[in-house]
């Protein structure tokens, strides 16, 4: 399934595919956890399930991304505003990191809930113009973690500011057309 298909195909097909992937994931990891047999037939069966799991993972990845994008897009103004403030030295690295890190964590949790809420998915308006917005933002999670949780980090405030400055154009491109 390519990106175009996510937004053109019947939504119920995408939801059914994700439901199957969710079901398959549960079965596959349960089998991996419980299997301690040396029986080749059992291992071959688990391998077949595993191959189907990886195929379904590939097949559903763009739809899952679009669901995450939906959630992250709701917070887009906060992300953009805080990135601009930080790059222009209007807030500290720790203030920026705390705000964005905890917002990312919240959006990721909300995304996980949405991925499992098949009824809600049927009512959403997914927008192809926001595709992969969530990836750009969520890639900051581990960079910001050290600052936000006041752990040691190898980055200085200025290095973090440069990273944000470098990524800001990628975020701003989502705002060029009214989406």
pLDDT tens string 133-160: 999 999 989 889 887 777 677 888 999 9
- How far apart CA 172 and CA 50 sit, in angstroms, is 39
Q: What is the pLDDT, as a whole number, of residue 4?
A: 54
pTM (predicted TM-score) = 0.86
Q: Which residues of the chain have pLDDT under 70?
A: 1-9, 151, 177-179
Q: Which pLDDT does position 176 carry in this prediction? A: 83
Q: For residues 156 and 93, give the distance between their C-alpha atoms in angstroms, rounded to a whole number.
A: 9
Each residue's pLDDT tens digit, 60-73: 999 999 999 999 99
Q: CA-based diameter of the chain, in Å?
A: 63
């Amino acid at each position: 399934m390519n990106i175009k298909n996510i937004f053109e195909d019947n939504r119920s097909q995408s939801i059914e595919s994700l439901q199957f992937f969710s079901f398959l994931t549960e079965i596959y990891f349960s089998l991996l956890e419980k299997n301690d047999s040396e029986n080749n037939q059992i291992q071959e069966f688990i391998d077949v399930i595993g191959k189907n799991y990886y195929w379904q993972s590939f097949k559903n990845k763009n739809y899952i991304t679009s669901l995450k994008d939906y959630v992250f897009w709701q917070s887009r103004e906060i992300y953009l505003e805080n990135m601009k403030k930080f790059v222009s030295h209007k807030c500290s690295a720790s203030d920026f990191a705390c705000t964005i890190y905890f917002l990312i964590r919240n959006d990721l949790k909300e995304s996980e809930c949405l991925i499992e809420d098949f009824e809600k998915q049927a009512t959403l308006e997914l927008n192809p113009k926001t595709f992969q917005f969530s990836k750009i933002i969520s890639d900051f999670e581990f960079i910001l973690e050290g600052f936000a949780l006041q752990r040691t980090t190898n980055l200085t405030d200025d290095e973090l500011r440069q990273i944000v400055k470098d990524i800001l154009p990628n975020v701003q491109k989502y705002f060029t057309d009214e989406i």
